[in-house]
Amino acid sequence: MASLDIFVDQYINYLVFEKGLSEKSIESYSSDLSNYLEFLKQKGIKDITQTDTPLILKHMIALRESGLGSKSCARHLITLRGFYKFLAQEKILEFDPAKLIDLPKSGLKLPDVLSVSEINLLLNIPDSNKPLGKRNSAMLELLYAAGLRVSELVNLKFLDVNLEACFVRVMGKGSKERIVPFGLFARNKIDDYINNSRPLLLKNRISQYLFVARAGKPMTRQGFWKLLKQYVKQAGIRKKVTPHSFRHSFASHLLEGGADLRTVQVMLGHVDISSTQIYTHVARDHLRQIHEKYHPRG
């Protein structure tokens, strides 16, 4: 098993030093691969070249039969696909045996995606005549406009946002920096907040953070989550809505509008495009509806 362990170590080092994945992600990949190596050991496999597509499928079936949920099984498959892709790229294997295995359709369940009308309804709830309303409105607009994680939103520095060029610099998972554009709606809301609300909230204090609370301290995830729940209730939306729902909606609406998957991957900051592929079913549903509505034989 020594050679198998060495290849796993090489892949983990690749994820750490070249991909810059977070510690939590590395732990997940390591756990999945350790599980896979134990499976290979039970099958008497000592050389990675002895593995093939049917063997990987047997491992996936064994995981499912052990009671592992669909989402966890899909995560294991994502891990193995990344591992084998790496082995093929490094010429350790002549071909990638995991490439032919698709993710199960129900493997990665996408939380409720808000419709465009529901997004618009929520974005119009904050009272833009009040300082806190201006701040909250700007936060909601930027969250949706740039597809940010809530942690990225509340940790934004004042200098991270370029209103003239309409882009925001984000430090994502694994300390990966990305640049994401946003539109005029978000720019106008942020500009209004900076000029007419932020100074009132700071009260002569200085803060490096863009979004601040009453005492001049940065907004917290909990604080934003609390105000979002209030707005969802006011809007009468019955879906389960979290700050991450805006990120899911951002990706889904882009794909529905015709954006390619690679572009959405870059804006979301996903290292592996398989993480972005969970949104494609939304686009497929939309395309099917368009076909049924407009095609003469739909």
Enzyme catalytic residues: 149, 173, 244, 247, 270, 279
- CA distance linking residue 93 with residue 74, whole number of Å: 23
What are the CA-CA distances from residue 297 to residues 80, 283, 286, 289, 291 (Å)? 41, 21, 17, 13, 9
CA distances from 81 to 78, 101, 128, 247, 261 (A): 5, 8, 48, 25, 18
Strands (E), 251-291: none
Place of tokens 């942690």: 151
| Backbone torsions φ then ψ of 180, nearest 5 degrees | -125, 130
Place of tokens 């080092």: 13
| CA distances, 217 to each of 29, 38, 65 (Å) | 36, 49, 50
DSSP collapsed to 3 states, 184-211: HHHHHHHHHHHHHCHHHHHCCCCCCECC
- Rounded distance between C-alpha atoms, residue 264 and residue 280, angstroms: 11
